[in-house]
Structure 1
Amino acid sequence: MKYTWIGLALLVVSNQVLAKTRIVTLAPHLTEWIYSLELESQLVAVSAFSDYPAAASALPVVADYQGVDFTALMALEPDLILAWGGGNKPQDIARLKSLGFDVFVSQPKTLDDIATELSALAAKLDKAELARQLTQQYRAQLQSIQSLYAHSQPVSVFYYMWQQPLMTIGADAWANQALSLCRAEHIFNDSPIDYPQVTVRQVVARQPELLVAASDQSEEALTAFWQSHGALIQAPLIRANANALHRFSLRIVPAIGELCERIDSVREKTIN
């Protein structure tokens, strides 16, 4: 019984220490990870555009495109800071480390990296079992999507995020990983840069079978833009969930599934 009570006492102390962990996230996807791991009660500050779940919008903001607000962040005395290696300034991350903060750096390059990094974070926060369940489901859903469309006929698409200027993607851009699962081939995959700016004339010259707008604009506004070029390009237009597709969170899987379904509906009409 003596060792049993000692073990229970250590468990209580461990949980008390964990409960006091104060977490700051410096990118929207990292905010989502904390909610996915059910640790939102320990989240004391976030970055700009941390809008999912909605409750995250009420938290103090200590980072944006200009960088980290060190004064505000340090006043919160966080125990763990989650940074985005591909979005936060390298000098800001280096400074946080030099100040002695425990900094977890996320930098997903592939869809599977989301699961791998989430698991690594969970291990630091005593949420390994929950992460195992979440990532197992995530990977199974990705595999299901890949299998569903693996033998589908490729569809040429023009995927863009902005209309003015007309901003699209190159072969190594993040969105292409989703498109490849849908068996969609992007017409500017020969671009030497990840996010090139193109003209309507260039799009027309390549005649995609489908236009994909990763935008929060209304379908009416998106359609109106292309209607003025209707005599030159008649590809149908669909809208993608940019908020989920461009964020390294678990929400990306249903967003990819929805995108693939819409692409497939156009594919069927083209074939028939």
Structure 2
Amino acid sequence: MEKIMKRLLKILLPLILISSVLAGCGSTTNTAEIEAPMEGVSTSIVLTDGLGREVILASPATRIVSLSPSNTELLYVVGAGDQVVGRDSFSDYPADASALPDIGGGYSEYNLEMLLSLEPDLVLAAEINTAELVQSIEDLGIQVFYIKNPLTLDDLYTTIQDVGLLSGHEDAAQQVISEATERVAVIVSTIENATTTPTVFYELDATDPTKPYTPGQDTFYSTLIQMAGGKNVGDAMETSWAQISLEELLIQDPDIILLGDSIWGITPESLVDREGWSTLSAVQSGNVFPFDDNLLARPGPRLIDGLEALAQVIHPEVFE
């Protein structure tokens, strides 16, 4: 039971972090500005974070600690990897991040004593972190910028811009945004050539194969599946992250099954051996595929990779 709970925790923690990513039509309202420099006065950075607090840095941060995998990836993608001096336990990408001091936050509490010893001038928090944790860190005299879950791709781009500003890599951040925007446009344009809308079941965890976990409506998974030209089976569920019964899955009878839990060793072959699954259309047609869940479970730059991978597996005919 402990092993199962740990496994579910590692899956669901990142999902809680981004449960609303891309799902809504609203947007966050982070504001940013660089104060006009005066003679003899250093330019300062002024940003409103996800908690609505005005955060002021006298200059770009040079020693940064990340409290989430997505924040870590964002820092590296804008070119601030060398400025990251610590990270949470789940931050394992890019590979260089794994060598950074681990301050916890996975299956344990954050080690604030270790955090303090790293002498950061900025900590990037995420929505998985509580306001109480943010206050505890600030009580140590450390500046914290809280990044709220993006609701749309535009919000994601704003977050990239903010991270670039905070770390002194504005130009690189803008380049990342431009490239991402171009890639999304190409993907969406290509999908317009598709003539079908396959139903897609995305499996997050099947520790109990009679009721596997799947993302429901109002999740970024569902939105990205739709952008990739599919229809999410989980939209029939009442909650954003739910267990779907085998009976319901048989009724939905998906055209495609994507195994986000392939990182745990789940394979198309092992799925076929499950009792009651062999009659599903996706199984019968051989449309069961492993999928790298890390591309979708973190609200960072690799979401675009995730969208592209989804589109290619849902509509391979238009990408040939």
TM score, norm. by length of structure 2: 0.72
Equivalent in 182, 204, 219 of residue 161 of structure 1: 204
Unaligned runs of 5+ in 1: 1-6, 12-16
The answer to whether the 8 Å contact 2:70/2:300 transfers is: yes
How far off its partner does 1:54 sit? 0.7
Question: Rg: which structure is higher?
Answer: 1
The answer to whether the 8 Å contact 2:60/2:167 transfers is: no
The answer to whether the 8 Å contact 1:150/1:181 transfers is: no
One-letter identity of the residue aligned with 2:288 = L
Partner of 2:303: 252
Q: Summarize the Cα distance change of 1:20–1:27 in structure 2 as closer, same or farther, 3 Å threshold.
A: closer
One-letter identity of the residue aligned with 1:103 = V
Residue 151 of structure 2 aligns to a residue in which SS? coil
How far off its partner does 1:26 sit? 0.3
Higher helix share: 1
**Aligned runs of 1:207-226 on 2, under 5 Å?**
207-217=253-263, 221-226=267-272
Q: Summarize the Cα distance change of 1:67–1:194 in structure 2 as closer, same or farther, 3 Å threshold.
A: farther
Q: Is residue 2:27 matched to residue 1:27?
A: no
How far off its partner does 1:31 sit? 0.9
Larger mean Cα displacement after TM superposition, 228-237 or 178-187: 228-237
Q: Summarize the Cα distance change of 1:220–1:104 in structure 2 as closer, same or farther, 3 Å threshold.
A: closer
Larger RCO (CA within 8 A; separation ≥ 6): 2
Deviations 1:12-64 (A, max 9, x none): xxxxx969721100001111111112222221100112111111101111131
Q: Is residue 2:195 matched to residue 1:139?
A: no
The answer to whether the 8 Å contact 1:112/1:139 transfers is: no
Q: Summarize the Cα distance change of 1:49–1:222 in structure 2 as closer, same or farther, 3 Å threshold.
A: farther
Larger mean Cα displacement after TM superposition, 180-189 or 248-257: 248-257
One-letter identity of the residue aligned with 1:211 = I
Partner of 1:232: 279
Residue 81 of structure 1 aligns to a residue in which SS? strand
The answer to whether the 8 Å contact 2:75/2:81 transfers is: yes
One-letter identity of the residue aligned with 1:161 = L
How far off its partner does 1:150 sit? 3.2
CA distance in 2, matches of 1:245, 1:84: 16
Partner of 1:261: 312
CA distance in 1, matches of 2:70, 2:180: 15
The answer to whether the 8 Å contact 2:60/2:166 transfers is: no
Partner of 1:119: 161
CA distance in 2, matches of 1:173, 1:266: 26
Deviations 1:155-187 (A, max 9, x none): 111111111131001111221121011111112
CA distance in 2, matches of 1:267, 1:36: 29
One-letter identity of the residue aligned with 2:260 = A
Partner of 1:172: 218
TM score, norm. by length of structure 1: 0.84
How far off its partner does 1:266 sit? 7.6
Q: How many residues align?
A: 254
CA distance in 1, matches of 2:266, 2:299: 28
Q: Summarize the Cα distance change of 1:257–1:226 in structure 2 as closer, same or farther, 3 Å threshold.
A: same
Q: Summarize the Cα distance change of 1:20–1:116 in structure 2 as closer, same or farther, 3 Å threshold.
A: closer
The answer to whether the 8 Å contact 2:271/2:277 transfers is: no
Partner of 1:46: 87
Q: Is residue 2:242 matched to residue 1:191?
A: no
Percent identity (aligned): 24
Q: Is residue 2:104 matched to residue 1:63?
A: yes
